[in-house]
Structure 1
Amino acid sequence: MIQVKGLTKAFRTYKKQPGFGGAIKGLFNRKYEQTFAVKDVNFSVEEGELVGFLGPNGAGKTTTLKMLAGLLYPTTGSAQVLGYVPWQRDDGYRRQFALLLGQKNQLWWDLPALESLELNARIYGISRESLQKTVDEMTSLLDVKDKLNVMVRELSLGERMKMELIASLLHKPKVLYLDEPTIGLDVISQKTVREFLREYNAKQKTTILLTSHYMADIQELCKRVIIIDHGTIFFDGKLSEIIDRFADSKLITIQCEGGKQSPSEHLQKYGQVLEQNATEIKLKVKRERVIAVCKALLDELPVSDIDIQEVPIEDVIRQIFAR
């Protein structure tokens, strides 16, 4: 469905020297530097996959999506989506994909949401019956049916994002690019959007490439993730493999009877003491030492309960980005 080979996008930027003198010098002798937003990216996505596209700010995620949507021309490399070259902007391709940027508007600010949806339907040649059916179904799932006749500028951020999502899906695209679709939303709206996307992907078999800084979005929706950093693919595989490859520790939580515990300085020989109170101790222990540490703690302390967990995935991703 999506095939990317050696995709590279470089920007030539003017490097201004400081001060008024620098501005004058720039009139006669300009210095430029080349910045690679995306560099030699390779990946493929199968039909119906929902793939998480992760990376820190400035990693190249949005630039990649914009090239796949045909908004930017690459410097080098190739890509095919649905058999089309995106930046050739064939009409057949533009009718089969949608791009939703969480920080950009596609609805008319001073029109009711319904009129903006009707305008989009006219552009894509969607019949009134099909429009009515789609809007009824999606507004019910997203719980915004009573907001259709409200001016877009008067909608809350969460309501507007839901309407933007509906507008993107009116023509039933085969490929959907989502760039931060839940940014700025409250936890309830985030959950609603995630459930909607999961159900829509399962029902329509739409191929979705999703970027998000909320790990809850990725964990609940994506089995596969692609991590990009400094414009280059760092990891491409199952989400579960990230912990196996990059998490070198586990979390051990000990419940003690009677509040009898060892001092924190003594426990540090087993691992990093994250929390300690009268009845509970939480340690971060190297994976290869987990069994030995558990045995030692059981012998040393009046343990009533012990729990071993993986490090939260968002912490692992944060460590990867920090590297």
Structure 2
Amino acid sequence: MIEMRDLRKEFTVRVRKGVLRREKRTVTAVDGIDLVIAEGEMVGYIGPNGAGKSTTLKMLTGVLAPSAGSVSVCGLTPVPQRTRLALSIGVVFGQRSQLWWDLPLRDSFALLRHVYRVPADAHAARLRRCRALLELDEFLDIPVRQLSLGQRMRGELTAALLHGPSVLFLDEPTIGLDVVSKQAVRSFLAELGATGAMTLVLTTHDLADIERLCRRLVVIDHGRVVHDGTIEALHSRYGSRRRLVADLDLPLPPGFTVPGAELVSLEADGHRASFDLLSSSAGAVVGELTALASVRDLSLVEPDIEDVVARLYRS
């Protein structure tokens, strides 16, 4: 569905050199990305600020022309075939709107039907589904400028889907949203992706979005891919570990050890112990622990992906 081969994008900027003189300098935003995304995949595309994420999306959607390499989306070359491509993709940029600011949300949806020349029955069916899943009915007749950020983002998602795209590009779709709105957007996207009928590329700084929605994670830095795989592979590669927290009836004795785990902290006068899982599974460590100590309660803490990604950036 999406193919990038040695994709590059360079910009020429002018840098001040002295009082009156400026010097031209070439800045490489995307530096030789090779990436293939299959139909129905949900891919998280992340990186630090300035890594080249938004530049990549702009080349995929035909907004920017590559400096070198090739890119194909839905079998089309984005820039020369941008008009045809627009019928096959949906785009949501967190800081950009495709809705009419002074019109009620309902009227924006009606106008988009004519922009994309969508048959009335297909448009009505998709709008009906979005209204149910995103709970749009309570603000359909309110002008877009009067909507809250969460309401507007739900409207933006609907607008991007009404023409039935094959690929959905999302750039920071939950930025600035409250917890309730984030959950509504994530649940909607999860249900959308579960059908396998749409390819989704998600760029975000909110890693909870990635964990909730995407099995595949692509991390870029300085315009290059530094990780392409599962979130679990990222944890394994950068040494993050699951943690077992045990509440104990009695404090642990000095020198206490559990095979396959490392004791990392003792709290509550020794009644709460935290173990990092090393070579053994959680079940095996729990079995060893309960045989050696009087355990009142257990909890398993998954590694924080934000810590893992921060460690990757630092490396």
Do both share a fold (TM > 0.5)? yes
Q: Which runs of 5+ in 2 are unaligned?
A: none
Contact 2:216 2:228 in 1 (8 A): yes
Query: Structure 1 residue 271: deviation in Å?
Result: 5.5
Which range moves more in the overlay, 198-207 or 143-152?
A: 198-207
Q: 1:148–1:303: structure 2 CA closer, same or farther, 3 Å change rule?
A: closer
Within-5 A mapping of 1:140-289? 140-203=132-195, 205-258=197-250, 260=251, 272-273=264-265, 276-278=267-269, 279-284=271-276, 287=278
1:119 aligned to 2:114? no
1:50 aligned to 2:42? yes
Which range moves more in the overlay, 275-284 or 36-45?
A: 275-284
Counterpart amino acid of residue 87 in structure 1 = V
Q: Number of matched residues?
A: 309
Contact 1:2 1:44 in 2 (8 A): yes
Contact 1:178 1:209 in 2 (8 A): yes
Which range moves more in the overlay, 92-101 or 149-158?
A: 92-101
Which range moves more in the overlay, 311-320 or 173-182?
A: 311-320
Q: In proportion to residue count, which structure has more helix?
A: 1
Q: Distance in 2 between matches of 1:306 and 1:117?
A: 50
1:25 aligned to 2:17? no
Of 115, 128, 145, the residue aligned with 2:120 is 128
1:102 aligned to 2:94? yes
- What residue in structure 1 maps to residue 129 of structure 2? 137
Q: Distance in 2 between matches of 1:299 and 1:140?
A: 51
SS of 2:20's equivalent?
helix
Q: Which runs of 5+ in 1 are unaligned?
A: none
SS of 1:88's equivalent?
coil
Q: Distance in 2 between matches of 1:251 and 1:211?
A: 28
Q: Distance in 2 between matches of 1:142 and 1:67?
A: 29
Percent identity, aligned pairs only?
A: 36
RMSD: 2.8
Q: 1:290–1:132: structure 2 CA closer, same or farther, 3 Å change rule?
A: closer
Query: Structure 1 residue 262: deviation in Å?
Result: 6.5
1:82 aligned to 2:74? yes
- What residue in structure 2 maps to residue 65 of structure 1? 57
SS of 2:130's equivalent?
helix
Counterpart amino acid of residue 312 in structure 1 = D
- What residue in structure 2 maps to residue 13 of structure 1? 13
The alignment's TM-score, normalised by the length of structure 1, stands at: 0.85
Q: Deviations over 1:190-231 (max 9, x none)?
A: 121112112223336111111122222111211111111111
